[in-house]
């Protein structure tokens, strides 16, 4: 069996924030790839604005570096479960994984999720214990935790013999010793271990072609681009080939362009062979999981499994009194076009039409997945309204089931009771409790996903901001009966249209928490705050003070109001109830009732009660 010893294909996997992207930056800097003129930005692989701002990887990226005559293809993957669909498909493209684990935090829910996917594909693992320079680092315990996780996930004997490298990606140092004093200013131990331990791809380039698409990209110039691996044979520009569709049919097309990856560049190449990771254009409707083969030798690879969406929201054309004032794209045609474009590259997303031509049901892998799409749309100039997120139930063996998540919480001991109580109210079941030292407790729960919608705000309050919560989809289980999460307090709703005044806000403050500042434009039916009680309360926030000709020397100067609570997009989505919309425009995020008029709202709620 011939091997291509000049090449290695590897994916970097880890929990959110454990340093994957920073590690890839260092590997790029310290390899023989970039010439001296290339200035590398921090987290160079995170290319879009949202990734840079939030410090997270949303889309999987690939790059390639040169090291001692070996080309190492590196896939940088997202850590959030919401983008887990990306991680799964990448596992098919590589022969090994570099598992990055924080030297203090150790194994986390996402570490478990990504490692499970890698072990299922029988990939060869290497472990990098990162952030070894942290004063609180505990490398020996972390390696034990990783070994336990491997055993728990059913790793075979070869996989359990994983090599460990200790590194500080941010400082560009690494070493094979777990003593921070032994760190050396080089990434060579990482490179050497990859070359030595990760298997080289099999060279079967003289057999008939098999190229499978694992990721999609889109370019205005060449249309859809399929990114994947050549599993067998060769592919050349100008070849007439067959695209084996998911439904079993075959389409003929000509390969117009092939791109290879090197450093941060996509480079046009004429030919690729078995083991190469490439991008191919020339096919209009190529989709993830499809195989490109010779026309006279149609032999498709098994279809890639993509995780089903677990959460859905309704996207609606903005019809509030302020519609069209701040956005560039407001029509249903424009919104639908934009959602269809998103489907070109995001395979975990579903968009379904509804009876109304102005509304669509958009399903994704979680709140973060959908809120990133909404945030991108508003930055591009779209105006729209979205409903409260709802979990997608499905039938398993005749039983109605809902998605459950594994929740891991790290909290100071004194807040533990509050966390356990609040999660059990949301039907969470405690699975494990470990004292991690320094007064910190690690709790593991299994909780219904709908109980976690809107929980993060309550969690931050319960732990005074000291708690850390991570959760990831675990499995579908029978639907839990009774109250599961949701907002307990009612809303403060404006009865009038106009500008909010300091005078009105002062009188409303004692009723609850106000979300708007003085002089903010409001409309009838807009939510301007949260009531301190369970019912909705209609208030007049636009009333001005009656001017009289009697003046008190110190009266007006004492008008001091509390700073209003400003909600981010995620907090606004979490706040929503079933009868409310979040109105999103490039400049504002507003909350509103679906029925704006107070008397019509009351009629509708009476009607609903009689129906129940």
Q: How far is CA 542 from the centre of its chain?
A: 39
Among 305, 286, 265, 306, which residue's Cα sits nearest to residue 213? 286
Q: How far is CA 212 from CA 64, 92, 148, 206, in A?
A: 19, 9, 34, 17
pLDDT attached to residue 564: 80
Q: Give pLDDT tens digits for 48-79.
A: 444 444 444 334 457 788 888 888 888 877 65
What element of type H or E holds 306?
Answer: none
User: Binding-site residues for GTP, please?
Assistant: 17-22, 130-133
- Burial classification of residue 316, based on how many CB atoms lie within 10 Å of its CB (0-12 exposed, 13-18 middle, 19 or more buried): buried
Tell me the longest C-alpha to C-alpha distance in the chain.
Answer: 99
Q: Is 260 in contact with 278 (CB distance < 8 Å)?
A: yes
Using H for helix, E for strand and C for coil, what is the string for 199-240?
CCCECCCCCCCEEEEEEEEEECCCEEEEEEEEEECEEECCCE
Q: Is 586 in contact with 379 (CB distance < 8 Å)?
A: yes
Among 276, 287, 283, which residue's Cα sits nearest to residue 242? 283
Please calculate the CA angle 295-296-299 and round it to the nearest 5 degrees.
80
Residue in this structure with the two tokens 């790793």, named with its chain if needed: 155
User: Binding-site residues, please?
Assistant: 17-22, 130-133
Provide the 3-class DSSP secondary structure of residue 44: coil
439 DSSP 8-state letter: T
Residue in this structure with the two tokens 């705050």, named with its chain if needed: 529
Give the pairing of strands 250-254 and 257-262: unpaired
Give, to the nearest 10 degrees, the angle between helix 455-462 and helix 416-425: 160
By 3-state DSSP, what share of the chain in percent is helix, strand and coil, each rounded to 5?
25, 35, 40
Long-range contacts from 335-340, C-beta under 8 angstroms, 24+ separation: 335/360, 335/377, 335/382, 335/384, 336/360, 338/377, 338/380, 338/382, 339/315
Q: How far apart, in whole angstroms, are the C-alpha atoms of residue 474 and residue 84?
A: 12
Residue 243: both structure tokens together: 């695209």
pLDDT attached to residue 57: 39
What element of type H or E holds 112?
Answer: helix 109-120
Provide the 3-class DSSP secondary structure of residue 123: coil
pLDDT attached to residue 59: 40
Positions in the chain short of pLDDT 70: 1, 16-18, 20, 31-61, 78-86, 109, 219-220, 263-265, 305, 307, 483, 485-486, 547-559, 611-612
pLDDT attached to residue 86: 65
Q: How far is CA 607 from CA 483, 492, 535, in A?
A: 22, 22, 17
Residue 549: both structure tokens together: 């000709």
Q: How far is CA 14 from the centre of its chain?
A: 14
Residue 502: both structure tokens together: 């300091």
What pTM did the predictor assign? 0.72
pLDDT attached to residue 110: 72
Give the pairing of strands 521-522 and 498-499: antiparallel
pLDDT attached to residue 220: 66
Provide the 3-class DSSP secondary structure of residue 408: strand
pLDDT attached to residue 612: 56
Q: How far is CA 546 from the centre of its chain?
A: 51
Residue 396: both structure tokens together: 């398993």
Q: Give pLDDT tens digits for 243-295.
A: 888 777 888 888 888 888 876 667 888 888 888 888 888 777 777 778 888 87
Domains of the chain: 7-197 (3.40.50.300), 210-294 (2.40.30.10), 394-478 (3.30.70.240)
Q: How far apart, in whole angstroms, are the C-alpha atoms of residue 23 and residue 131?
A: 10
Q: How far apart, in whole angstroms, are the C-alpha atoms of residue 58 and residue 20?
A: 13
What element of type H or E holds 157?
Answer: helix 157-160
Residue 116: both structure tokens together: 């499970």
């Amino acid at each position: 069996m011939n091997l291509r010893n000049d090449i290695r294909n590897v994916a970097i996997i880890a929990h959110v924030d454990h340093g994957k992207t920073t590690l890839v930056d260092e590997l790029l800097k310290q390899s023989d790839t970039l010439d001296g003129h290339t200035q590398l930005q921090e987290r160079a692989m995170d290319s879009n604005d949202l990734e840079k701002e939030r410090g997270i990887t949303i889309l999987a990226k690939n790059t390639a570096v040169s090291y001692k005559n070996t080309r190492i293809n590196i896939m940088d993957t997202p850590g959030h479960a919401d983008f887990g669909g990306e991680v799964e498909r990448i596992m098919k493209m590589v022969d090994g994984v570099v598992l990055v684990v924080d030297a203090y935090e150790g194994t986390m829910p996402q570490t478990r999720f990504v490692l499970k996917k890698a072990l299922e594909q029988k990939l060869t693992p290497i472990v990098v214990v990162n952030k070894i320079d942290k004063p609180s680092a505990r490398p020996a315990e972390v390696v034990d935790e990783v070994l336990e996780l491997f055993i728990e996930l059913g790793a075979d004997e070869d996989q359990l013999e994983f090599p460990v490298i200790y590194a500080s990606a941010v400082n560009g140092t690494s070493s094979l010793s777990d003593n921070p004093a032994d760190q050396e200013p080089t990434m060579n131990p990482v490179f050497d271990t990859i070359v030595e331990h990760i298997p080289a791809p099999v060279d079967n380039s003289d057999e008939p072609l098999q190229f499978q698409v694992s990721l999609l990209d889109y370019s205005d110039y060449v249309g859809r681009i399929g990114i994947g691996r050549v599993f067998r044979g060769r592919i050349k520009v100008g070849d007439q080939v067959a695209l084996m569709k998911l439904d079993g049919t075959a389409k003929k097309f000509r390969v117009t362009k092939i791109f290879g990856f090197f450093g941060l560049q996509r480079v046009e190449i004429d030919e690729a062979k078995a083991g190469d990771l490439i991008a191919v254009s020339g096919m209009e409707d190529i989709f993830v999981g499809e195989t490109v083969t010779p026309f006279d030798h149609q032999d498709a690879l098994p279809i890639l499994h993509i995780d089903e969406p677990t959460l859905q929201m309704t996207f609606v054309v903005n019809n509030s009194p302020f519609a069209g004032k701040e956005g560039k794209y407001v029509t249903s045609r424009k919104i639908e076009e934009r959602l269809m474009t998103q489907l070109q590259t995001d395979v975990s997303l579903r968009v379904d039409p509804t009876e109304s031509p102005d509304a669509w049901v958009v399903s994704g892998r979680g709140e973060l997945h959908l809120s990133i799409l909404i945030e991108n749309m508003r930055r591009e100039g779209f105006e729209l309204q979205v409903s409260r997120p709802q979990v997608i139930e499905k039938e398993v063996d005749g039983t109605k089931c809902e998605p459950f998540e594994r929740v891991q919480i790290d909290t100071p001991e004194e807040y533990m009771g509050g966390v356990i109580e609040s999660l059990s109210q949301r039907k969470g079941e405690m699975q494990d409790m470990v004292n991690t030292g320094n007064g910190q407790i690690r709790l593991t729960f299994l909780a219904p996903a709908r109980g976690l919608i809107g929980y993060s705000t309550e969690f931050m309050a319960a732990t005074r901001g000291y708690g850390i919560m991570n959760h990831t989809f675990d499995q579908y289980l029978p639907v839990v009966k009774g109250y599961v999460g949701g907002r307990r307090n009612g809303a403060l709703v404006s009865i009038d249209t106009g500008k909010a005044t300091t005078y009105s806000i002062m009188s409303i403050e004692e009723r609850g928490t106000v979300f708007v500042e003085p002089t903010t434009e409001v409309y009838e039916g807009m939510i301007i705050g949260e009531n301190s009680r369970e019912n909705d309360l209609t208030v007049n926030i636009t009333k001005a003070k009656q001017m009289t000709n009697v003046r008190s020397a110190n009266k007006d100067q004492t008008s001091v109001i509390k700073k209003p609570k400003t909600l981010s997009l995620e907090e606004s989505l979490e706040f929503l109830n079933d009868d409310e919309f979040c109105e999103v425009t490039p400049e504002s995020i507003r909350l509103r009732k679906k029925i704006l008029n107070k008397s019509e709202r009351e009629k509708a709620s009476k009607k609903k009660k009689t129906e129940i």
